[in-house]
Amino acid sequence: MASEELTAGSIVWLVILHTNARATRFYEKSGFKKLREHYNQIGKINFKYELMLKEI
């Protein structure tokens, strides 16, 4: 795993399962903004995620 230094203007992003309201609230309070929805299929099950980002 590569280690990179975060500097001003860096963007941190993460993906949260859309049903995880507690995590969504935590990251929103931490300054992350919802960017878009993302879908992923594992087997026959579709999962909906929220892509969030924060500029440092």
Q: Let me know if residue 1 belongs to a domain.
A: no
Q: 43: domain range? A: 11-55
Q: What is the identity of the amino acid at 4?
A: E
Residue 1 has pLDDT above 90, yes or no: no
What does pTM read for this prediction? 0.75
Summarize pLDDT for 6-44 with one digit per residue, the tens: 677 789 999 999 999 999 999 999 999 999 999 999 999
Q: Would 6 be classed as within a structural domain?
A: no
**Bigger pLDDT: 33 vs 2:** 33
Predicted pLDDT at 13 = 92
Tokens standing for 45?
């099950």
The residue type of 50 is E
Query: Regarding predicted confidence, which is higher, 34 or 4?
Result: 34
**Within the chain, where are the H helices?**
21-29
The answer as to whether 38 is a domain residue is yes
Question: How many domains, the chain?
Answer: 1
